[in-house]
Copies of this chain bind each other. A is one copy, B any other.
Amino acid sequence: MTEDYTTHPNLAKIKIVLIETSHPGNIGAVARAMKNMGLSQLVLVNPKEYPSQVASARASSAADVLNSAQVFATLEEAVAGCQVVVGASARLRKVSWPQMDVRETAAMAMQITDAQDGQIAILFGREDSGLSNLEMDKCHYLAHIPSNPHYSSLNIAAAVQVFAYEFLMAANLKNEAELKGYKHDLATAEQLEGFYQHLQQGLIDIAFLETAKNTRFMRRMRRLFNRAQLDVRELDILRGILTAAQRQAQKLKSLLESKDV
């Protein structure tokens, strides 16, 4: 095991799995990218050359991550114990696979690694040919790195750098929230759906929205609040605000009705 240099327990549970990497320099560069971003678990499946002087030179001060890499002959062994396996891909694939971008992958990784034994593996394929179809069959999700459509093939260490950066950003956001004295799970899709229903009804009640023809408007609201990645406490607050506004509207309505009588 590597020394515990990371301040993020979630990052310690993320495995970077390199499959049949050809160039040892890339393995070293991956180790450096990982350590720079606080990741420590490097897993190699049938590397062409490891250990290697070239890898060590490129790893720079990440010798600990490089030297403690786990090496396996098969992908099955490499991902044993991982709840979720994600295949990294430079481009969106026309397959019926659940697909995410890197940022979405990082959000998912935080949720999975919050569980005591929660581990996630991110697979990176060969430099020239990526992941095989059989390897993709082992993936629960595919994650693509948004890129120039005319040149979407990133160097493998560059690809790992992008993932590792998003993992650290997600962990930092989480830490920041915890340091500020609140620690709440992100709202689930179901909870968000409840909020959007409540929002729509609330906006109708306060006479902001008409009952019909608000599909496009509500889509815009969904986009806005989805971007904010609400936690459960924030969701409660927003619903509390809606309820307060609805209460005023309800009182007004009752009063107007009683006047009519």
Q: Cβ of B227 and Cβ of A151 under 8 Å apart?
A: no
Within 8 A of B (CB), among A223-244: 224-225, 227-230, 234, 237, 240-241, 244
Number of identical monomers bound together in the oligomeric complex = 2
Q: Cβ of A206 and Cβ of B245 under 8 Å apart?
A: yes
Question: Taking the nearest CB of chain B, how far is it from the CB of A224, in angstroms?
Answer: 5
Interface size on A, residues (CB 8 A): 60
Task: Please classify the interface of chain A as helix (H, G, I), strand (E, B), loop, or mixed, using the class held by over half of its residues.
Answer: helix
**Measured CA separation A259–B32 after assembly (Å):** 73
Interface membership of A22, Cβ < 8 A: no
Interface membership of A140, Cβ < 8 A: no
Interface membership of A162, Cβ < 8 A: yes
Q: Chain A, 154-193, contact with B by CB distance < 8 Å: what is the 0/1 string?
A: 1101100110010011001000000000000000000000
Interface membership of A60, Cβ < 8 A: yes
Interface membership of A148, Cβ < 8 A: yes
Q: Cβ of A224 and Cβ of B228 under 8 Å apart?
A: yes
Contacts known (A147-B37, A165-B165); A234 close to B224, Cβ less than 8 A: yes
Question: Taking the nearest CB of chain B, how far is it from the CB of A126, in angstroms?
Answer: 15
Q: Which residues of A contact B (CB under 8 A)?
A: 5-7, 29, 32-33, 35-38, 60-62, 102-103, 145-155, 157-158, 161-162, 165, 168-169, 172, 203, 206-208, 220-221, 224-225, 227-230, 234, 237, 240-241, 244-245, 247-249, 251-252, 255-256, 259
